[in-house]
DNA sequence: CGTCCTGTGAACGGAAGGTGAACGCCCCTT
DNA sequence: AAGGGGCGTTCACCTTCCGTTCACAGGACG
């Protein structure tokens, strides 16, 4: 795991101890310049900036970390209660705040939640497989940025397949899972929908849906098959 | 401004006082059921859920508020320090935490920051999407400066759609969210209102409301990246 | 070579949504 | 109290779309 950036250097003992207890690697940084120089190859996992002593330096660092091409996230600010008022016009500089003196477990819980947020939190519900992206909220599909114009059943079928990559489904299974349990109709219907999906995926990506002879269909690559 | 939801009912005095000091309107809610029943037409501005006494009830409420078609945001959880460990597998239920006993100004600062993050609170009186502007205070709508003469339901429907651009809503969802939970009527009513909205938007902008066949309606263009 | 199985093209039929109009309710005016 | 206009709702009709089916051809496998 990439390390957390901690300001200042050395950081307050209680903060460093709390982060150590959470098991996160970290590296102290004393100024904006050293932050650039000592940045890991894979970047920082996040930052914990203590503004309790050198408030000006802390805010300057936050600003610098945010103005980069890839703004650093998440950024947790540690301040004294009296400094809360100073945050009013600096909302864009941080993602969460923690007050000193720290309370047991609070810093750890906040870091956990921040990681969860930036990892999976507010993002729209997506189903992704390679260049294929299905947006479940907007009922839209795209392949390498190019939007796919799918009908309802095509979308549902592709969604089901893409959420179970590599697995083979019989036509009957697909009919019951995608069309509905009570569905009673010809199994060849699946074939036709697969054909149209392949056509819309384009010759390039048509192989994403593979035929497993005498069994059914499979979505996605197999590591040792093709 | 729409009120904040506060749990439980009545909320702890120190929490209620802190929110009053921030100048936010609020309404106490005692259970998941009453939360539905007493919800304002324009929805809640957010929620502050105190889990210090009735933790189970608080988490159940959070879950209910998040599982809706339009998840309630932002949601601030208030817990005792010993409860921090209970949050580990419930990261999706809240946006921020605050510990009791409260420290001066902390709750207020957190609510401010949450509103800033979610984009509401800063200017709740306007809803903008491209050339479309809805003035929530005066109940007026304009398209590229040209005022739109909308009826009440047309305005409400357009407002709801425009505040959730890109997302698809079924007719049933629109009926329950725009018309009200207890509404019982034909789903085709939505179609007619959509038609009139499209007509008033003009041929140029009629595409702002898109039909998603077999699903419902969607407002605005796709947001793939941002 | 024969048989299964799947790909392919086309056609059918039904469902979903657009459209125009009418109904009924409420409120305002006279 | 009667009349009328605005507005939300409902209905009937029609068009378009698309899911389904069929027949046939091509390919895999024994």
A51-99: pLDDT as tens digits: 999 999 999 999 999 888 777 889 999 999 999 999 988 999 999 999 9
Dist. CA B46–CA B40, nearest whole Å: 12
pLDDT tens readout for residues B48-66: 999 999 999 999 999 899 8
Q: If we measure between CA atoms, which residue out of B6, B37, B28 comes closest to residue B180?
A: B37
pLDDT of residue A19: 95
Q: If we measure between CA atoms, which residue out of A176, A153, A177, A168 comes closest to residue A216?
A: A168
| A144 contact B CB<8A | no
How many residues are there in chain A? 226
**With an 8 Å Cβ cutoff, are A81 and B97 in contact?**
no
Token look-up 């400094």 returns A83
pLDDT: is B35 or A224 the higher one? B35
Token look-up 């939640």 returns A113
Total Cβ atoms within 10 A of residue B76: 22
For residue A123, pLDDT over 90 is answered with no
Q: If we measure between CA atoms, which residue out of A154, A73, A82, A78 comes closest to residue A114?
A: A73
For residue B86, the cross-strand partners are: none
For residue A201, pLDDT over 70 is answered with yes
The angle formed by the CA atoms of residues A105, B74 and A109, to the nearest 5 degrees, is 10
pLDDT: is A133 or A180 the higher one? A133
Q: Which helix (H) or strand (E) holds A135?
A: strand A132-135
Continuous H helices in A38-167: 55-66, 106-116, 152-162
Q: Closest-CA residue in chain B for A90?
A: B113
Work out the average pLDDT over A32-41: 87
- B88 CB neighbours in chain A (<8 A) are 112
Dist. CA A170–CA A172, nearest whole Å: 5
Closest CB to A152: pick one of B81, B116, B214. B214
The angle formed by the CA atoms of residues B46, B52 and B54, to the nearest 5 degrees, is 90
Dist. CA B208–CA A155, nearest whole Å: 22
pLDDT of residue B182: 66
How many residues are there in chain B? 226
A213: Cβ under 7 Å from strand C?
yes
pLDDT of residue A226: 36
pLDDT of residue A1: 77
pLDDT of residue A59: 96
pLDDT of residue B220: 87
| Ranges of residues in chain B whose predicted pLDDT is under 70 | 119-124, 181-182, 222-226
Mean pLDDT (chain A, rounded): 90
For residue A162, pLDDT over 90 is answered with yes
């Amino acid at each position: 795991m990439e390390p957390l950036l901690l300001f200042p250097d050395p950081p307050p003992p209680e903060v460093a101890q709390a982060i150590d207890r959470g098991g996160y690697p970290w590296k102290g940084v004393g100024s904006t310049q050293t932050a650039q120089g000592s940045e890991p190859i894979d970047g920082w996992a996040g930052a914990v900036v203590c503004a309790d002593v050198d408030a000006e330096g802390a805010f300057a660092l936050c600003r610098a970390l945010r103005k980069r091409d890839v703004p650093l996230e998440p950024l947790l600010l540690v301040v004294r209660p009296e400094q809360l008022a100073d945050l009013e016009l600096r909302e864009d500089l941080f993602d969460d705040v923690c007050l000193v003196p720290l309370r047991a477990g609070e810093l750890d819980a906040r870091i956990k939640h921040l990681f969860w947020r930036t990892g999976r939190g507010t993002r729209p519900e997506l189903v992704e497989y390679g260049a294929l992206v299905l947006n479940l909220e907007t009922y839209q599909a795209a392949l390498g940025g190019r939007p796919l114009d799918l009908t309802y059943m095509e979308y549902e079928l592709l969604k089901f397949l893409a959420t179970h990559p590599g697995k083979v489904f019989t036509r009957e299974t697909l009919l019951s899972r995608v069309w509905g349990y009570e569905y009673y109709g010809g199994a060849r219907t699946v074939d036709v929908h697969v054909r149209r999906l392949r056509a819309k995926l384009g010759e390039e990506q048509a192989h994403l849906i593979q035929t497993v002879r005498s069994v059914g269909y499979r979505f996605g690559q197999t590591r040792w098959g093709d």
